[in-house]
Structure 1
Amino acid sequence: MEEIVPLLLGGLILFLFAITQLSEVMKGVFTKKAEFAIQKYTKNIFSGILIGAVLTIALDSSSAVIILTIIFINSKVLTFKQAIGIIMGANIGTTISSQIIAMDIGKYAVIPLAIGLIFEVFAEKAKTKRIGHILLYTGMLFFGLHLMGVSVGSLEDSDLFREWIARINNNYIQGTLIGGLITLIIQSSSGTVAIAIILGKQNLITAAGGIAIMFGTELGTCADTLLATIKGSRQAIKAGLFHLLFNLLTIAIGLLVFIPFVQLVQLISTTQDIGNQIANAHVLFNVLGVILFLPFVGWMEKLLNWMLPDRKKQPQGA
């Protein structure tokens, strides 16, 4: 256990650092033209979902995309109505990272690390250096996953760990709460899902236990969004509340049909390991959540507008 903890924490820290740095590098790509494109193509709910998904894949963080959206709302680049599609799309986009994690490509991390380092040392142009940064941090992300995978291999010998996992496997509500708590602590839903997938690949957790943890990440990730709305406009606050309500309702429905949902995931993932099943569940859960709530988006928008009406402008000289 003394050897496991440093490797596990080191891998997790490297993974989280890489995600943060990747997000920052990709944010630097956003120009006024990009802001204009986001503003122009989010007036329709479906194009908004597409933009949200694409941005999340690019930034590798749904939290970063939603926080960026709130910043745009406060800057009056976007409205609350436009943000709804982006938020729903971000939930879909974040599932791509879980599929990449499930591919078990950590052992190839040295390739982007090496290329990125060469670019960092020898490149002179800012654009080339930025490409080098993206490759370097991508390599760090994969290497962090590899370290976590290596570290958890010996956990099956720990009685304490087996007892803790047994609780999650047998109580999916508790597993969901644990997933939310871990996400709140490490401030990354991708990091929590990665842990669940890695445990699944080592057969240290059941598909049901891993899926329960994944459910919890959808709740834990709302914390960053709500924090970003502090002292923001009412439009921004409504966007944060929509994210919370949307995730809460999808989790509640998911828990109500938990056993059939797990069975469905296993049915469509019969030839895949538990790690891949958890990744597939992440995609299925978030895509179905968006499809299910599309007809009710207008009602949710009206409800939040009623709860938090925009402040009326005071007439000048009043």
Structure 2
Amino acid sequence: MEYGFYDILQLIGALGLFLFGMKVMSDALLKLAGNKMRSILAKMTSNRFLGIFTGFLITSIIQSSSATTLMVVSFSNAGLLTLVESISVIMGANIGTTITAWLITILGFKVSMSAIALPLIGFGFAFTFLKKEQYHNWGNFIIGFALLFIGLQFLKEAMPDLKNNPEMLSFLSQYTDLGYLSILLFLFIGTVLTVVIQSSSATMALTLIMTAQGWIPFELAAAMVLGENVGTTITANLAAIIANYQAKRTARAHLVFNLIGVLWVLILFYPFLRFISWFTTYLGSDSPYANAAAIPVAISLFHTMFNIFNTFLLVWFIHPIAKLVERYIPVKLLPEKEIDEPKFLNKVELKYPETAIATLVKESKYLYKNAIFEIVSHALNIHREDIKSDLKLKKVIKKSNILFETDIRELYATKVKHIYGEIISYATKAQSALDLNEDQNNQITEIKIANRKMVEIIRDVKELSRNITLYLNSDNKYIQKEYDKLRKKVAKVLRVIHLFRTEKDNLKYHQTLLKLGEEAKESFHKGNLDMDKLIREDLITVDMASSLVNDSDNVNDMIKKFIEIAELLYGKKDPLFNNGNDPS
């Protein structure tokens, strides 16, 4: 019996069905548990062991180390995970992916799932008719689960039988008796297969079937498993090509981690395999060297033990691995864009709610820090560095008597208008395209509100700036003094917000902001009394008084908006944004 072209097509088709089942199952699980899993990923990485457990838990549940790794890369790109946290999660994902191998070994080789696979598809299909999305996802999970094992059964049947094709065994024998060279060759084959198929689970299934059919011995199957661990890192590295340096570092760390593991196992290859053989017989199975039927269990055990040992060996070297990767991929600052272009918004981050929200927060904070703060400071005729300094505000106001050339309209058009529009557009897309829970939807709405208030402040400060320019040039010392008071009020709020967003222990500055907000509300009556006195005593003109009343109201309104912006952008203590990567 010859193995012809049609048989090869059947083998490819069976592999395709297996992969499709794996994808349907994984996607359904991701939808069922995605929000919760991403929340866990963002919050449970405070130390390396929690990170490992998180990676293991997520991968075990969604049954895809690639999905977990891509999630980690996306979170790194958005600045939600540090490099050290990302490495620990990937370590856990490597252990979690071994669950799939056991699933295939136990249910695909020890138990015949093909008998119940079709009834399972019918059962799952019935769920897809239900209106509730959760039931629909459960139906897809059941269908994917059944298709996976139907594909596995077809794979076993499509794989050529060496008893009827002895010439294949003679062909393979040329490459199985080369000692360590054979080990390296099959390691390479495992790597290439995983890169081509883009699924370590599918390559593992092929490896298990090849051992069960007697194609390759235990040690060469183990070498292929090592190759699969290298090949699976390619997915993350491909995803990181269009990402920033943080995501590239995470992907390279995954590669380095797996390469180091493969290297030490290759050095201890035969002693390690003897240990696996002993452990397999200790658990009650036959030795993989004596019985080919025992190889699938031994290979699954090898896969699990390799990843567990590698993780707990290298967990103590996470920081050196991080430093190595940081040295290989240095910090790459984002290229200088035109002043009116967004710095952080990109389509990559629109994949998950958490990364979209983090990106919107970063872009909004950047807009405040690099445009709103500058424009308002210049409109007040004060240098930003003086506001951020420890110099007393009375001296800051006194020294800032040289008028700036400030065109608020032009600054708004070049520094704010386009970015504001992009932020609102990005936020609207996130709300319409992503599956947001109520809290996430509220967060995005609050970000939109904060940005709208920033634009309103620019409108408010425009008239104030004109009168500051007019009256600081006036010979009337009383109107000069009143406008200096207004400038000082706004400068004080700007300084407290600067401290609130930059100091770690910022509770006292938050309290100060709230106090300044109350003072702004109460100052309306006191301000009117002061102005009445100035008018009665003919110390200022009626026009001056009119401008002063309007500008005083404007300043109080601006202060209220500034405090609301600070609350919305910097007052949230969500663990998603408290990892040191926030561009405050």
TM over 0.5: yes
Which residue does 2:555 correspond to in 1?
A: none
Structure 2 residue aligned with 1:128, among 108, 120, 135? Answer: 135
Answer whether contact 1:53 1:90 (CA < 8 A) is retained: yes
Answer whether contact 1:219 1:248 (CA < 8 A) is retained: yes
Shift of 1:123: 2.0
Which residue does 2:69 correspond to in 1?
A: 66
Answer whether contact 2:55 2:89 (CA < 8 A) is retained: yes
Please report the RMSD computed on the Cα atoms of aligned residues, expressed in angstroms: 2.3
Q: Which residue identity does 2:132 align to in structure 1?
A: K
Structure 2 residue aligned with 1:20, among 16, 19, 23? Answer: 23
Change in Cα spacing, 1:25 to 1:167, as seen in structure 2 (3 Å) is farther
Q: Which residue identity does 1:282 align to in structure 2?
A: H
Larger Rg: 1 or 2? 2
Does residue 88 of structure 2 align to residue 85 of structure 1? Answer: yes
Aligned partners of 2:168, 2:30: CA distance in 1, in Å?
A: 39
- DSSP-derived class of the 1:28 partner: helix
Aligned partners of 1:30, 1:77: CA distance in 2, in Å?
A: 19
Answer whether contact 2:33 2:62 (CA < 8 A) is retained: no
Shift of 1:256: 1.2
Spell out the pairing of 1:217-232 with structure 2 (5 A cutoff): 217-232=228-243
Spell out the pairing of 1:166-315 with structure 2 (5 A cutoff): 166-167=173-174, 169-170=176-177, 171-270=182-281, 271-272=285-286, 273-311=294-332
Change in Cα spacing, 1:284 to 1:217, as seen in structure 2 (3 Å) is same
Change in Cα spacing, 1:234 to 1:5, as seen in structure 2 (3 Å) is same
Shift of 1:260: 1.1
Shift of 1:177: 0.6
Answer whether contact 1:116 1:132 (CA < 8 A) is retained: yes
Bigger Cα displacement from structure 2, 236-245 vs 270-279: 270-279
Bigger Cα displacement from structure 2, 100-109 vs 227-236: 100-109
Q: Which residue identity does 2:97 align to in structure 1?
A: T
- Encode CA deviations 1:8-54: one digit per residue, 9 max, x unaligned: 22221111112222232233235655433321101211111111111
Q: Which residue identity does 1:82 align to in structure 2?
A: E
Structure 2 residue aligned with 1:147, among 119, 141, 154? Answer: 154
TM-score of the pair, normalised by structure 1: 0.92
Q: Which residue identity does 2:277 align to in structure 1?
A: Q
Answer whether contact 1:4 1:154 (CA < 8 A) is retained: no
Aligned partners of 1:277, 1:219: CA distance in 2, in Å?
A: 20
Shift of 1:302: 2.1
Q: Which residue identity does 1:75 align to in structure 2?
A: A
Aligned partners of 1:167, 1:224: CA distance in 2, in Å?
A: 32
Which residue does 2:479 correspond to in 1?
A: none
Aligned partners of 1:235, 1:163: CA distance in 2, in Å?
A: 49
Answer whether contact 2:26 2:141 (CA < 8 A) is retained: no
Change in Cα spacing, 1:167 to 1:140, as seen in structure 2 (3 Å) is farther
Shift of 1:205: 2.1
Which residue does 1:54 correspond to in 2?
A: 57
Answer whether contact 2:127 2:135 (CA < 8 A) is retained: yes
- DSSP-derived class of the 1:229 partner: helix
Structure 2 residue aligned with 1:158, among 162, 165, 171? Answer: 165
- Encode CA deviations 1:238-285: one digit per residue, 9 max, x unaligned: 101100111111111111111111111111113241111111111111
Shift of 1:168: 5.1
Q: Which has the higher contact order (CA 8 A, sep 6+)?
A: 1
Q: Which residue identity does 2:121 align to in structure 1?
A: L
Does residue 63 of structure 2 align to residue 42 of structure 1? Answer: no
Answer whether contact 2:156 2:209 (CA < 8 A) is retained: yes
Answer whether contact 1:168 1:209 (CA < 8 A) is retained: no
Aligned partners of 1:211, 1:184: CA distance in 2, in Å?
A: 18
Q: Which residue identity does 2:236 align to in structure 1?
A: T
- Encode CA deviations 1:48-81: one digit per residue, 9 max, x unaligned: 1111111112222211110111111222222222
Structure 1 residue aligned with 2:102, among 85, 99, 120? Answer: 99
Identity %: 28
Answer whether contact 1:203 1:274 (CA < 8 A) is retained: no
- DSSP-derived class of the 1:310 partner: coil
What are structure 1's unaligned runs of at least 5 residues?
none
- DSSP-derived class of the 2:241 partner: coil
Q: Which residue identity does 1:98 align to in structure 2?
A: A
Which residue does 1:9 correspond to in 2?
A: 12
Shift of 1:153: 5.6
- DSSP-derived class of the 2:46 partner: coil
Change in Cα spacing, 1:8 to 1:207, as seen in structure 2 (3 Å) is same
Aligned partners of 2:200, 2:40: CA distance in 1, in Å?
A: 27
- DSSP-derived class of the 2:32 partner: coil
Aligned partners of 2:30, 2:217: CA distance in 1, in Å?
A: 37
Aligned partners of 1:118, 1:167: CA distance in 2, in Å?
A: 51
Q: Which residue identity does 1:73 align to in structure 2?
A: S
- Encode CA deviations 1:167-199: one digit per residue, 9 max, x unaligned: 554311111011111111111111111111112
Bigger Cα displacement from structure 2, 125-134 vs 149-158: 149-158
Aligned partners of 1:221, 1:167: CA distance in 2, in Å?
A: 28
